[in-house]
Structure 1
Amino acid sequence: MGVDELEVRLGSDADREWISRLRHEVYARELGQHPTNDAGRLSDELDEDNVYIVAAHRGRPAGFVSVTPPWVGRYSIDKYLRRAEHPALGDDAFEIRILTVDPDRRGMMTGKLLMYAALRWVMAHGGRILVALGRTELLPTYLRLGLTSTGTPVRSGAVTFELLTGEVADLAERTLRRYGPVLRDLEPGLRWRLEMPFLPATGGCEHGGTSIGALGRRFDTLHAHGDVVPADVLDAWFPPAPGAAAALAAHQDWITRTSPPAQAEGLIEEICTRRGLPAETVAAGAGSSDLIFCAFRGWLDASSRVLLVDPSYGEYAHVVERVIGCRADRFTLRRAEGWRIDPDRLGDALRERYDLVVLVNPNNPTGVHLDAGDLRQVLAAAPGGTRFWVDEAYVGYAGPGQSLEPYAATAGNTVVCTSMSKMYALSGLRAAYLTGPPRIAAELRRWSPPWAVSLPAQIAAVHALRDPGYYAGRWAQTAALRGELAAALAAIDQDAHVQESVANFVLLTLPRRGPGAARLVRRCRDQGVFLRDLSPMSPAFEGRTVRIAVRDAAANSPTAATVAAALHDPRNAV
């Protein structure tokens, strides 16, 4: 198929010379889009900000494609079109431009692979929308790849283009459906040098937690869990309450062979006693994902309108857009504002009247918390018919009085989802509950299958809820450890930015020079330290931010040392 010994990689400074010469040869001499020049080179003002993906065959240039990410703040298309007049040219679009193949390599899959590589790069950086100017004579090729013409022509020199656009998720799904077998056949002969895998994961939402893979797919090396630092997932660094651990250990033979209460009635009773909630306002589930899938698939359909915070927990976008297939708008958080949710700006956004608004508070992965009083005012002032889902997986870290569970039990428009995984060190057992109006809680209980929450989870959750003092102490320890980890990371590089969350993690944003997030994560993983690259979650992270979970002091120290070694690696200059 013409890809043997073909290498696909990010372009380097050394590639700029031949790229500019090939651009001149194709776009000036061959196509007449630009006038020729004596230097025999073409470049433009976006070259310093563009990402070039290049293909080389046996070390010789074969072609390239350029990606202009949204954080550059401008596009090549801006020279021809007014962005405000074209909805496709939103502020979060990725522009694919100047796909160019050496004449000797045309018709040999090079161009298609470069377009695929650009799509994979955009996917790995949280892209949702692609735009491009496609030459009219090549329009059938672009359409076969899944792009859609807007019907807007653009003239540049002797060349006519059309404005094309496409949703990244749809393009990826169509590409894998149509070309998946071909891509799998090509992979062995291709030298893929990009940071992301050649083929994307399929099926469910991509989560962190790749560190569990170090123990073997079938858990044959569980004894090695102490050899890795799982800072890529937000599981608690501390054990569950002593009473929970003791109850499980004392009766483990009986627990593993015994069916649980079908509707987790005892667990719900304990929740209501500890939280001061009426029993009819609570429904239990096997982790928050169980409740999300159950509730959203009952409430939403393809005609529903949903507002999601961006960046935020990726499971929500996956369920809304890929599982249910309804429209989701984004309430975009801004790095310059410390990722804060501005209550006034959120209130203004709610005038659009959404069927469901999803808020994670404290937010993950930004780690910023909106005060409960401010959030209650926003919810109370929302248009009638708007339902709110508030995810409080980390609310215990925000301090007492910050949960909206009492409000949700009486307000009528709010549901609070409370995971017991992270705050109570029960991630492996899967226990969560929902608080809301009695009608909604009853609905969720009716939609849930019997025995959804396992007996070990019910027993451990009940005993955990009975020991609030233990967890308050552990949460305070987590805050101290978080501060120490943040200080150690901040000392590594004065140009890197470290942001403490209110929860059990910190964000590290890398300087524009040096490695990006994907490379840092890969190099740390090679040393047994696993971090979370936030790039696929949102373009707001610009491919430069990693999330690092707080572990105990014995693990935090090597984490900071490994990050320092990776950032100061001499290979970064290559």
Structure 2
Amino acid sequence: MERNLQLRAATPEDLDWIHALRHRVYAQELGQHAPNSAGRLRDGLDGDNVYLVAARGEVRIGFISLTPPWLKRYALDKYVSRGELPLLDEDDLFEVRILTVEPRWRASAAAPLLMYAALRWIASRGGRRVVAMGRTELLAMYLAAGLQPVGHTVRSGALTFEVLTGSVTELTRVAMDRHRATLNRLRAQVDWRLDAPFAPRADGCEHGGVSFTAIGTDFHDLDRRHQVVAADVLDAWFSPAPGVRAVLADDLEWAARTSPPTGAEGLLAEIARVRALPVEALVPGAGSSDLIFRAFGQWLTPQSRVLLLDPGYGEYAHVTERVIGCRVSRFRLRRDDGWRIDRDQLSAAVQDGRYDLVVVVNPNNPTGRHAPAAELRSLIAAAPERTRWWIDEAYLGYVDMGESLADLAATDPRVVVCSSLSKMYALSGMRAAYLVAEPATARELRRRTPPWSVSLPAQMAAVAALRDPEHYRSRWLRTHALRRQLAADLAGADDTVTVEEAVANWLTVTLPSDGPSAAQLVQECRRSDVYLRDLSPMSCEYQGRTVRIAVRDTAENARIVSAFQQAMAVLRPGSARRASIPASVSTTGSSR
């Protein structure tokens, strides 16, 4: 039966069938509602909620309803107060409800597939928790999916429902562990038309760099790099300093075959000189992701409590939640507040000392906002002694390196600064970064650092880059000009979108609520070999409607604008191609 079973978002033409099926099942068959002469059951959330539909050809089989958190109301509000069920106040809670299948198809895979489709759609919009009402007669099916009762039952008409919940991470783990073979079989048989990937990556984190798949990750033929606009990762648009190219070109054969200094001693000495830091406070890394995994793996356990900015760089949530299994909370940044950190609110959030680690990315990726160093210093000074602060300064050069907290990190055991040389210095492919910490902390991390962790070409390139600050200062200034022009051109290309500039080398574009999803825009732009970043999985705050675009050079920026304009023309309501766009590959992090 599953062959040619289609999973898709409901169209306006589906709504009459949905209302009719609801009447036949919940009024006539189950007695939850009184039958009516129109033969239709409508819902108070219709028009705001999302329906996913299973169909086989022209025959509709079943549907499921999703209520996103940005509506600020749920169907459960009719039955349970927020005081009785506090999880209804969580910022990233999605309600799943009214799973309904036509009688003749109830023995098929339609119901489980609709539940799985709902999970994937929710994950693609940054959802982290699900709440549902499951009919008591079908409780076993919901438990098998990983949902757990919360201890409330709800009576509606002749039916009794159990209130159930589960984290998206845990529900995904259950789906992958218990039902992987079935999902792998169905993947080849189901016509998946949702704008969310059918399955998560094996490691559970959608890292950046999807554009490289268009070039070829086997490196067999790299000519495609000239056709692909890689605006989905925040690599620099400019070349490394002339000295970098010179030192690599001088004897590349020797650099390739020769083992580097064991502990990157020369690189650390250069960082210490340029940044006016004690060398004993420095730890080298093959990119900041290397340092994040190494340090967090040493400091944190499943019992640790961590506070992350939301929206924020996805690697932190991946490491703390999925790799280590920490108890993670989120400090919400709001579009209405300009995505800025409210110092008083953050101070209040950490004041009771519950957190072992607070992560602040500054400037923040993806919101693109910078918190003044003076505010962060006063915030940290007033925080409890037991709380460690991790400050990620990967993009600080685009603002002012004088805003760094590295000097504080070198003396205060509560503060660690992580700085990547990848993005600011056009060395993403080299993988070079460093961490600044109080010497005892740095010494322990260096002890756990493998020898030769940073390659010889990377060490040579990083040292040469640090010796040419004027080259990079001019490139950072030019980036601001390019970003402003790109923002103006995108805003001029379509007046229905909202363009927000970052302080670094990217901007964001938010689509109107009645327009296409961010995932659809990303997929459509790929037809023009232009790769953008769907921010939806990072946070519910984006509501599935925001893309991040890296600043490129003038010619590539023009291609971005052209692809964006063409995509929006295709995807506007009424376009014949809109409903047939295949699922995009949503992403949540970018390599550092």
Q: TM-score range by the shorter chain?
A: over 0.9
TM-score (norm 1): 0.99
Alignment map for 1:266-285 (pairs within 5 Å): 266-285=266-285
Q: Identify the residue that residue 528 of structure 1 maps to in structure 2.
A: 529
Q: Identify the residue that residue 403 of structure 2 maps to in structure 1.
A: 402
From the superposition, tell whether residues 571 and 346 of structure 1 become closer, same or farther in structure 2 (CA, over 3 Å). Answer: closer
Deviates more, 1:471-480 or 1:25-34: 25-34
C-alpha separation between the residues in 1 aligned to 2:411 and 2:84? 45
Task: State whether residues 136 and 162 of structure 2, in contact with CA within 8 Å, keep that contact through their aligned partners in structure 1.
Answer: yes
Local SS of the residue matching 2:515:
coil
Task: State whether residues 21 and 41 of structure 1, in contact with CA within 8 Å, keep that contact through their aligned partners in structure 2.
Answer: yes
C-alpha separation between the residues in 2 aligned to 1:173 and 1:213? 26
Q: Identify the residue that residue 332 of structure 1 maps to in structure 2.
A: 332
C-alpha separation between the residues in 2 aligned to 1:303 and 1:195? 36
**Runs of 5+ unmatched residues, structure 2:** 576-592
Local SS of the residue matching 2:41:
coil
Q: Identify the residue that residue 463 of structure 2 maps to in structure 1.
A: 462
Q: Identify the residue that residue 436 of structure 2 maps to in structure 1.
A: 435
Alignment map for 1:484-523 (pairs within 5 Å): 484-523=485-524
Percent same amino acid among aligned pairs? 57
Local SS of the residue matching 2:73:
coil
Deviates more, 1:285-294 or 1:564-573: 564-573
Deviation, 1:399, is 2.1
Q: Which runs of 4+ in 1 moved over 6 A?
A: none
Local SS of the residue matching 1:459:
helix
What's the RMSD between the two structures over aligned residues?
A: 1.0
C-alpha separation between the residues in 2 aligned to 1:8 and 1:555? 36
Q: Identify the residue that residue 44 of structure 2 maps to in structure 1.
A: 45
Residues 411-453 of structure 1, C-alpha deviation per residue, up to 9 Å, x if partnerless? 2210000000000000001000001111111111011000000
C-alpha separation between the residues in 2 aligned to 1:446 and 1:250? 33
C-alpha separation between the residues in 1 aligned to 2:518 and 2:213? 20
C-alpha separation between the residues in 2 aligned to 1:84 and 1:208? 40
Q: 2:417 aligned with 1:416, yes or no? A: yes
Q: 2:87 aligned with 1:88, yes or no? A: yes
Residues 31-74 of structure 1, C-alpha deviation per residue, up to 9 Å, x if partnerless? 11111110000112201111110011231110000110111111
Q: Identify the residue that residue 584 of structure 2 maps to in structure 1.
A: none
Q: Identify the residue that residue 587 of structure 2 maps to in structure 1.
A: none
Task: State whether residues 368 and 502 of structure 2, in contact with CA within 8 Å, keep that contact through their aligned partners in structure 1.
Answer: yes
C-alpha separation between the residues in 1 aligned to 2:227 and 2:57? 40
Alignment map for 1:10-25 (pairs within 5 Å): 10-25=9-24
Deviation, 1:400, is 4.3
Residues 516-548 of structure 1, C-alpha deviation per residue, up to 9 Å, x if partnerless? 100000000111000000011111110000000
Local SS of the residue matching 1:35:
coil
Residues 441-494 of structure 1, C-alpha deviation per residue, up to 9 Å, x if partnerless? 111101100000000010000000000000000000000000000001111222
From the superposition, tell whether residues 258 and 400 of structure 1 become closer, same or farther in structure 2 (CA, over 3 Å). Answer: closer
Deviates more, 1:239-248 or 1:212-221: 212-221
Task: State whether residues 389 and 417 of structure 1, in contact with CA within 8 Å, keep that contact through their aligned partners in structure 2.
Answer: yes
Deviates more, 1:553-562 or 1:188-197: 188-197
C-alpha separation between the residues in 1 aligned to 2:91 and 2:158? 29
Which letter maps to 1:84?
G
Residues 326-347 of structure 1, C-alpha deviation per residue, up to 9 Å, x if partnerless? 1000001101111111111110
Q: Identify the residue that residue 306 of structure 1 maps to in structure 2.
A: 306
TM-score (norm 2): 0.96
Q: Identify the residue that residue 66 of structure 2 maps to in structure 1.
A: 67
Q: Identify the residue that residue 555 of structure 1 maps to in structure 2.
A: 556
Q: Identify the residue that residue 225 of structure 1 maps to in structure 2.
A: 225
Local SS of the residue matching 1:363:
coil
Q: Identify the residue that residue 31 of structure 2 maps to in structure 1.
A: 32
C-alpha separation between the residues in 2 aligned to 1:505 and 1:299? 32
Q: Identify the residue that residue 247 of structure 1 maps to in structure 2.
A: 247
Name the structure, 1 or 2, with higher relative contact order (CA <8 Å, separation 6+): 2
C-alpha separation between the residues in 2 aligned to 1:231 and 1:483? 16
Task: State whether residues 200 and 206 of structure 2, in contact with CA within 8 Å, keep that contact through their aligned partners in structure 1.
Answer: no
Task: State whether residues 514 and 573 of structure 1, in contact with CA within 8 Å, keep that contact through their aligned partners in structure 2.
Answer: no
Local SS of the residue matching 1:24:
helix
Q: Identify the residue that residue 391 of structure 2 maps to in structure 1.
A: 390
Which letter maps to 1:367?
G
From the superposition, tell whether residues 429 and 79 of structure 1 become closer, same or farther in structure 2 (CA, over 3 Å). Answer: same
Q: Identify the residue that residue 211 of structure 2 maps to in structure 1.
A: 211
Deviation, 1:201, is 1.4
C-alpha separation between the residues in 2 aligned to 1:411 and 1:154? 53
Which letter maps to 1:330?
R
Q: Identify the residue that residue 378 of structure 2 maps to in structure 1.
A: 377
**Runs of 5+ unmatched residues, structure 1:** none
Task: State whether residues 391 and 418 of structure 1, in contact with CA within 8 Å, keep that contact through their aligned partners in structure 2.
Answer: yes
Deviation, 1:204, is 5.1
Residues 144-199 of structure 1, C-alpha deviation per residue, up to 9 Å, x if partnerless? 01000112111111111011000101111111111111111122221111112222
Give the total of aligned pairs.
573
C-alpha separation between the residues in 2 aligned to 1:367 and 1:141? 43
C-alpha separation between the residues in 1 aligned to 2:399 and 2:305? 30
C-alpha separation between the residues in 1 aligned to 2:574 and 2:76? 32
Task: State whether residues 486 and 506 of structure 1, in contact with CA within 8 Å, keep that contact through their aligned partners in structure 2.
Answer: yes
Task: State whether residues 241 and 468 of structure 2, in contact with CA within 8 Å, keep that contact through their aligned partners in structure 1.
Answer: yes
Local SS of the residue matching 1:98:
strand
